[in-house]
Amino acid sequence: MSLITIILSILFPPLAVALEKGAGKDLLINILLTLLGWLPGVIHAFYVNSK
């Protein structure tokens, strides 16, 4: 995981997921989690991008 991905995962999680995985179910899940709360979106972004 690059430094840019880490920074984006913290500041704007959906963008980090979109750049790594593209538009798909991971992005939709991350958007939903980010809307429910910032921290769940960040955790999911780190999880998705660490695979």
Q: What DSSP line would sit under 10-33, residue for residue?
A: HH-HHHHHHHHH-SSHHHHHHHHH
Question: Please, what are the averages of pLDDT over each run of 10 residues along the chain (51 residues)?
Answer: 92 95 95 96 95 78
pLDDT score, position 6: 94
Amino acid letter at 22?
G
Domain boundaries, the chain: 3-50
pLDDT score, position 51: 78
pLDDT score, position 13: 96
pLDDT score, position 27: 96
- Structure tokens, 50: 């660490």
pLDDT score, position 17: 96
12, 45 contact by CB (below 8 A): no
User: How many of the other CB atoms lie within 10 Å of CB of 9?
Assistant: 26
